[in-house]
Amino acid sequence: MTGITRRVALMATAAAAVALSTVAFAQEGLPKLEKKDTYKVGFAQTESNNPWRIAQTESMKAEAEKLGYQLVYTDAAGSAAKQVADVNSMIAQGVDVIFLAPREEKPLIPAVMAAKKAGIPVILLDRNVDQSLAKAGEDYVTFIGSDFIDEGKRIAEWLVQNKPDGAKIIQLEGTTGSSPANDRKKGFDEALAGKAGFEILASQSGDFARDKGRQVAEALLQAHPDADVIYAHNDEMAMGAIAALEAAGKVPGKDVLVLSIDGGKEAVQAVVDGKIAAVVECNPRFGPKAFETLARYANGETIEAWVKNVDKFYDPTNAAAEVANAY
């Protein structure tokens, strides 16, 4: 080895060592979680206005009870400001760790940072925060949840396969500024971009809520009577869209195909009944995975930045067989 090549090799080794220590430091900078027999755990929920949220809360409460942990539960009732206050209250109560389902990507950043400053690890559940403002392994431990971009993509791919001649689409978006609304739109829009005959006529928020979804669908169907597909970012808005279609004298599943995400029992049954064409599951049963991740972290394991949930897909080929297993 010449002097120059040796110097280059030494520099490369030094650079690799710096890169490794940066990764290690990123985890090192997080608040630690002591290994204990029991924990006081915070769970900051966004709202409780739909079966998905209720199933998620039940799963978290059941797992905490099974393990004998104390759960400090709050419901932000659809307000990001209240959710920030809820996290601050958990910090004041001295919880060991906080599970947070951030309602929107940006407004919950101060809550994540306040917990970090107070030395309390945060695990994000089901929704993520803005990745340019906070990062897993640095500001919070990890994000446990589904791939929302892939959910939107899968439903678009099903549509292209099953309606190959094209579609005129109304999109009902979830809560503005939330990660599932941003990503389910991105995945769907990108998968259809450039596909001949597929046109998104209108895309508007129904706030993940049934009645808002119904109202928005009603208005958009009036403005676009030629729409033949409604893609709703969750089951609640899909059920609202079905009500809007029926009120307008249209037959869901025949005049207009309804597509959804979540896969609750009511929606999977609607697939069996022919009112919903297809649903991508977004599983709300987080309890076991959430508390297993807590235990791994307390054991000193390095936690991956994203603990990914795997989602099923329901359409007329499997809905009848799956409906009993849906939440």
Please identify which residue in 234, 260, 283, 293 interacts with ligand AHR, judged by CB under 6 A: 234
The minimum distance between CB 164 and ligand AHR, in angstroms, equals: 28
**What residues contact residue 9 under an 8 Å CB cut-off, 6+ apart?**
1
CB of 51 to ligand AHR, least distance (A): 8
Q: Which is nearer to ligand AHR, 239 or 319 (CB)?
A: 239
Number of alpha carbons in the 13 Å side-chain half-sphere of residue 175: 19
Q: Exposure pattern of 32-42 as b/e (b: 16+ CB <10 Å)? A: ebeeeeebebb
Of residues 11 through 50, those in contact with ligand AHR by CB under 6 A are 50
Q: Give the shortest CB-146-to-ligand AHR separation in angstroms.
A: 8
Q: In this chain, which of 99, 208, 314, 327 binds ligand AHR, going by CB under 6 A? A: 208
- Is residue 204 within 8 Å of residue 237, measured between CB atoms? no
**Binding map of ligand AHR across residues 246-275, x = CB under 6 A, - = no contact:** ---------------xx-------------
Let me know: does 262 contact 279? Beta carbons within 8 Å.
yes
By beta-carbon proximity to ligand AHR, the closer residue of 198 and 208 is 208
DSSP 98-158: EEE--SSTTTTHHHHHHHHHTT--EEEESS---TTT--BTTTBSEEEE--HHHHHHHHHHH
- Residues from 161 through 190 that contact ligand AHR (CB under 6 A): 180
Residue with tokens 């046109």: 199
Residue 53 as a binder of ligand AHR (CB under 6 A): the answer is yes
Residues that bind ligand AHR (CB under 6 A): 50, 52-53, 126-127, 180, 208, 234, 236, 261-262, 282
